[in-house]
Amino acid sequence: MKTPVTRPILLVVTPFAAEALAPAREHFEIVEWRALPDAAVFLRERGGRVVAMITNGMAGVPANCRDTLPNLAVIACNGVGYDAIDVPWATARGIRVSNTPDILSGDVADLAVLLALAAHRRLPQADRFVREGQWQAGPFPLARRFWGSRVGILGLGRIGRLIARRAAAFDTQIGYCGRKPQDVPYTYFGSTDALAEWADVLIVATPGGPDTRHLVGRETLRALGGDGVLVNVARGSVVDQSALIEALGDGTLGAAGLDVFEDEPHVPPALTGSDRVVLTPHIASATVQTRRAMAELVVENLTRHARGLPLATPVN
Ligand code: 8YV
């Protein structure tokens, strides 16, 4: 069989496991966006051959690709959140978009509970206390209890529901806020601030994007209170980070466990230097098993597209 003179290109914008790409090689020539010596030259000379793209919910479609890839037909988002991808723009151009729902929910929920526990019991501070030899000078200060607390979940979607299930095992009461009440045995609150007023710990599990930008602001943090804990495993954009820093600084808020930030990977010194926070580098889905499953699903969506089949997990 003759090989076509030009092969369609799959443009890989964000870091992606090379071994997972094997099934895609049958259909596409793979080009790593970050390895290109000159993106402008690539777009000019080979942009017309790009039919598929892998990106994630933070990077989206690079700005200089929006009008330079006339044959782009599918964008596979390596993540459940696709807030940085302009889906209406893609749909208007007939570009299919997919994401990776469900398979990462358990890991994200695990990390949410881990951060809630670690922020309450001050796990990193206690670890440092032992390592730095401070124990010989006296005991570690008392922390706060997590079990039995009121856990408010902002966004009771697939991930929020798993967080609720896990948190309930700690004999907590569960409240939630979302677009509408659901058929669940948890207490519904009609606003973020009302949920925060009730809750001891507020766990953010809502999608990112313009609709939820700064949903957690100064008032929410004040309502959560000086003994309250904020956990964010969603997107940095959902929390007003300046208000959070201020609230942690003056004791308006007790503590925070954060996996996501407003300007990743940059985390301001006011957070890295704070004794009231537990910080992780956006790792909620970062286990070997889940990242492998995500990569396989991304590639499955691309190969299904190449075969003219419906996508496995379409967004539009
Ligand atoms: C990943 C995520 O860190 O699924 C999401 O929305 O933010 C995370 O799972 C990211 O997408 C990695 O590419």
Cα(194) to centroid(ligand 1), Å? 29
pTM assigned to the model: 0.96
Nearest CA to ligand 1 atom 6: 81
Q: What is the position in ligand 1's atom list of the atom closest to the CA of 282?
A: 3
Sheet containing 74-77: order of strands: 29-32, 9-12, 50-55, 74-77, 96-98
Ligand 1 binding pocket includes 56 (Cβ within 6 Å):
yes
Ligand 1 binding pocket includes 104 (Cβ within 6 Å):
yes
Cα(39) to centroid(ligand 1), Å? 25
Among 33, 34, 80, 103, residue to substitute to test ligand 1 (most atoms within 8 Å of Cβ): 80
Tokens at 58, concatenated: 């933070």
7 is catalytic: no
Ligand 1 binding pocket includes 57 (Cβ within 6 Å):
yes
Whether the pLDDT of residue 3 is over 60: the answer is: no
Q: What's the pLDDT tens digit per position in 83-138?
A: 999 999 999 999 999 999 999 999 999 999 999 999 999 999 999 999 999 999 99
Cα(285) to centroid(ligand 1), Å? 6
Q: What is the pLDDT of residue 6?
A: 84
Would you report the helix, strand and coil content of the chain in percent, each value rounded to 5?
Answer: 40, 15, 45
> Could you tell me how far CA 232 lies from the centroid of its own chain?
9
Q: What is the pLDDT of residue 206?
A: 98
Whether the pLDDT of residue 4 is over 80: the answer is: no
Three-state DSSP state, 197 = helix
Whether the pLDDT of residue 15 is over 70: the answer is: yes
120 is catalytic: no
Q: What letter would DSSP give residue 266?
A: B
Whether the pLDDT of residue 196 is over 60: the answer is: yes
Cα(75) to centroid(ligand 1), Å? 15
264 is catalytic: yes
Three-state DSSP state, 229 = strand
Catalytic residue selected from 235, 291, 304, 305: 235
Q: What is the pLDDT of residue 81?
A: 98
